[in-house]
Every structure is written in C-alpha cells, then in structure tokens.
Amino acid sequence: MTEKHPLDSLTRRRALTGAAGVGVALPVLAACGGGDDDPSTASDPAASTSEPGGASSSAGEDGVQGSEALAETADIEVGGGAIYPDEEVVVTQPSEGEFKAFSIVCTHQGCAVSEVSDEGIVCPCHNSVFSISDGSPQTGPATVPLEERAITVEGGRITLG
C-alpha cells in the first residue's frame, strides 16, 4: 500500500484560494504595524515646530527651550477665544488678563466645538453653548461643563500644562 502525499489532494482551486487569502491578509497585517516610517510624522525633539502665525517654537523669545507656545496672549480677544483643533483645546479671555482653557469635545455627544461667539463656545452639532468663563452649559442640550484644561500664561505666551 502506498502512502498518500499531502500535496496529492491540492487542487488548482485550493491553491488559488490560499494565494488570494495571503493577498488579503498581508495589507491587513501591514496596517497593524506599530512603526511610523513617515518622517513627516516622526517625533524629533530637536526639530523646531511651527506655531500659529508661523513662528518657530524651538526656543521662545525668553530663550526657554521646549515650551511650545499655544498662542500669544494678544491673539485672544477679551470676551472671546480661539480654538486649537490639533491640541483639542479652546482658549478664552473672559476678562482682561484672565485666560481659561477647555477641551473642545462637547459633553453632549462628543462633537468638537466650532467657534467662540458673543454667546460663548458653540458646538455645531446640536447648538449647545458653553460659558467662556467656566465652560458651563448656557444653552442645551448639553448639561455638563466642558472639561477645563491646564494652561500657563507667562511672558505674553500661553502654553498647555
């Protein structure tokens, strides 16, 4: 009696099906990779970055290295504010020299707020409006305040943290 070899039952259809499966699996596995080979998104602490207005932040006016300014105090109007989507923060100046920062994530359904108007910080999804002073909801449907974010104001510069 002769032994049957495992490849004897391999048909052309099975071979093509297996090859197609490998063709589908490789891109999926590649997408799961943890490396970031794109130099434009690589993190390099020695590289200088750009702030709003195009100024370099590798060393500020005061010569402090590494404290990237989110904004200049002059950029934020009294009674108004500015949204920084990349940092997911809105910075406001409720009264002269008083600066506040809040998350841009609306507490109603997680949309990003889109503007700071005369009424307050506005979410475009369902028209919730939040106070520029404390992030509390002024009109709903949101019932919970925006999360406050820590900022430092020093030398005319506003930095996160």
Average pLDDT of the segment spanning 23-28: 46
Report the residue count for the chain.
161
More confident call, 133 vs 65? 133
Between vectors from CA 76 to CA 75 and to CA 77, what angle results, nearest 5°? Answer: 115
How many CB atoms neighbour CB 107 within 10 A? 19
Report yes or no on whether pTM surpasses 0.75.
Answer: no
Question: What average pLDDT does the chain have?
Answer: 74
Residue 37, pLDDT > 70, answer no
CB 121, CB 106: distance < 8 Å:
no
Residue 82, pLDDT > 60, answer yes
Q: What is the CATH number of domain 71-160?
A: 2.102.10.10
CB 84, CB 90: distance < 8 Å:
yes
Residue 156, pLDDT > 70, answer yes
Domain ranges of the chain: 71-160
| CA 10 to chain CA centroid, nearest Å | 51
Residue 113, pLDDT > 70, answer yes
DSSP string across 82-132: EEEGGGTEEEEEEETTEEEEEESB-TTT-PBP-EE-SS-EE-TTT--EE-T
Phi and psi, residue 127, nearest 5°: 65, 30
Of 1-5, 52-56, 120-124, which range is least confident? 52-56
Q: How far apart are CA 36 and CA 27, in angstroms?
A: 16
More confident call, 11 vs 101? 101
Average pLDDT of the segment spanning 56-67: 41
Specify the residue for token string 């390099």.
44
The proportion of the chain whose per-residue pLDDT surpasses 90, expressed as a percent, equals: 55
| CA 33 to chain CA centroid, nearest Å | 21
